[in-house]
A = this chain, B = another copy of it.
Amino acid sequence: MAFVVAKFGGTSVASPERIQMVARRLIASKQAGNQVVAVVSAMGKTTDELVGLAKALNEDPPAREMDMLLSTGEQVSMSLLAMAIQARGYKAKSFTGWQAGITTDRNYSRAKIEDIDADRIKREVERGAIVIVAGFQGLTEDGDITTLGRGGSDTTAVALAYGLGADVCEIYSDVDGVYTADPRVCPRAKKLDEICYDDMLELSSAGAGVLQARAVEFAKKYNVVIHSRSAFTDTPGTLIKEVTSMEQAVISGVAHDTSEVKVTIRDLKDQYGIASTVFSALAGNMVNVDMIIQNVSEEGHTDLTFTCPESDLERACETVERVLPQIGAREYVVDKNIAKVSLVGTGMKSSPGVAARAFTALAENQVNILLISTSPIRLSIVVEASQCANAVRCLHTAFDLDSDQVFEETQLSAEEIAAKMNKGR
């Protein structure tokens, strides 16, 4: 018997049939003796439809009203789920974010949870109800509805698990856990039984779509155990928690990310203040810069390269164009055809030679490295997009991650792959 918070994303509640599946699953957990709180996202395409309506009335919809509008999505799915559970003879009650005591700051559309008062939810759970809470939303101190932005429902679930003192926060999705690499790219990838918060954070940031980095960060801070598992099977998934085993694998996994682009500013003056000028301007224009590389200069001139999400490219180009004269640079070039491949593992810190082993493996497989960047527990390289799969596979093999079983690609349908790629709410 345990206290479980279970989060289901938009695809898991996309239709009445899927809502029935979730209802059955929650009831099974209740029957097994657990205390159960569920967190749900909006049904499938609801959010897109609401955004469409808003844009028809206001090209630049005001954020407060947009949050008011979008927060209805979860209110619909949560009440439907409560009805489905009641139809099967079990007690269920749904609560909006504000009813669940979730207080946020005033940053509409990307609010941060500031406080959680889970007393009401706790009371209902103790009375025997399966409680359903709307993910992705909260209330400001002034009584205005907010939404939490990307990964918001995962964060709601982790925050509630903390506020309720739950034993585990189950996050259900289309995939059955965290893999050592994306099985679609690396058929010998294997599912991890557990992974520590830091490695999961690095994997999420490096492109693994299974969990939102933000929720993992929250879980780490408050020591909430996450169980990432499939909404469609009963097999156990991956536990994300503080791993205390003495001997950890050097490398937890290999992530890849093809959503970034590379911008190189050519022939700029190598003098102090240049980098500051460039990156202050980029930050001011809301460009999320990822990697930054500058080589040693030749004759007082150098090249400066950075990567950023392709969605920020237009703003990045505008910015660079504008600062070119100030930094005395000649030109800049954009390369969209890249992939970032990252080796992640807390064990890296205590294992010298990881970089050498990685570069040797890549060289033996004719993978040309364009950029390199490291953190204490991550080694990222940028390669040509066409060499991405090759790089992932040879690193996976080189660090003894290969499974004995070959992953069958047919296990994931086209729809599931699309859903997996879509890092939604």
Contacts and interface: CB of A to CB of B under 8 A. Distances in A.
A83 B57 contact: yes
Interface stretch (A59-67, A267-275, A282-290, A350-358): A59-67
Nearest to A54: B83
Contact of A54 (B64, B80, B96): B80
Contacts of A93: 64-65
A57 B84 contact: yes
A87 to B, nearest CB: 4
A16 interface: yes
Contact of A16 (B50, B57, B72, B82): B57
A215 to B, nearest CB: 25
Contacts of A56: 16
Nearest to A59: B87
A86 B84 CA distance: 39
A68 interface: yes
A145 B75 CA distance: 11
Contacts of A75: 68-69, 71-72, 75
Given A53-B16, A57-B16, A65 B87 contact: no
A241 B137 CA distance: 43
A151 to B, nearest CB: 23
A76 interface: yes
Given A50-B76, A53-B16, A143-B99, A86 B68 contact: no
Interface in A36-95: 50, 53-54, 56-59, 61-62, 64-66, 68-69, 71-72, 75-76, 78-80, 82-84, 86-87, 92-94
A423 B58 CA distance: 31
A61 B94 CA distance: 13
A20 interface: yes
A84 B75 CA distance: 23
Interface of A: 16, 19-20, 50, 53-54, 56-59, 61-62, 64-66, 68-69, 71-72, 75-76, 78-80, 82-84, 86-87, 92-94, 96, 99, 120, 143-145
13 contacts: A16-B57, A54-B83, A59-B87, A62-B86, A64-B93, A65-B79, A65-B86, A66-B83, A68-B78, A68-B94, A69-B80, A72-B72, A75-B75
Given A16-B57, A68-B78, 10 more contacts: A16-B56, A53-B80, A58-B83, A58-B86, A62-B82, A65-B93, A66-B79, A68-B82, A72-B72, A96-B145
Which 7 pairs across A and B sit closest by C-beta, in order of nearness?
A72-B72, A58-B87, A58-B83, A69-B79, A68-B79, A16-B56, A57-B84
